[in-house]
């Protein structure tokens, strides 16, 4: 993720998005069999390893705790990002918050 952050600041969002999609399309087909095999092996190993499961539970609980402490800030930032994203995709559509939408009658 660090490389992408640096690239984002160097080449911009549009160029980075193009680069990510291009590399995905070029690399994945030739590696798909090996990727699938590795993924299945990892899942099987995880299912059989109770220590890995307990450690995963611990890591998730720490992550969720950290998120919970910052819930309000995260929600505010997420709302700003989503509004910016949707306004960029659909600049002529006025977004109406869910609370203000009028329910459509059903039959």
Q: What is the pLDDT of residue 39?
A: 95
| Global confidence as pTM | 0.54
Is residue 72 within 8 A of residue 63, CB to CB? The reply is: no
Higher pLDDT pick, 80 / 91: 80
Is residue 80 within 8 A of residue 71, CB to CB? The reply is: no
Q: Is residue 29 part of a domain?
A: yes
Range of the domain at 41: 1-48
Six token digits for residue 43: 């899942």
Residues 42 and 55 in one domain: no
Mean pLDDT, range 3-11, rounded to an integer: 79
Is residue 67 within 8 A of residue 74, CB to CB? The reply is: yes
Residues 73 and 83 in one domain: yes
Mean pLDDT, range 8-28, rounded to an integer: 90
Residues 39 and 63 in one domain: no
Higher pLDDT pick, 27 / 4: 27
Q: What share of the chain in percent tops pLDDT 90?
A: 64
């Amino acid at each position: 993720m660090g490389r992408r952050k640096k690239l984002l600041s160097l080449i911009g969002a549009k160029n980075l998005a193009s680069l990510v999609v291009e590399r995905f399309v070029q690399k994945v087909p030739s590696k798909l069999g090996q990727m699938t095999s590795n993924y299945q092996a990892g899942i099987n190993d995880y299912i059989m390893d109770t220590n890995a499961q307990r450690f995963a539970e611990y890591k998730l609980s720490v992550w969720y705790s950290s998120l919970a402490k910052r819930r309000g800030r995260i929600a505010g930032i997420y709302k700003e990002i989503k509004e910016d994203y949707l306004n960029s995709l659909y600049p002529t559509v006025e977004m109406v918050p869910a609370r203000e939408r009028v329910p459509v009658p059903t039959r």
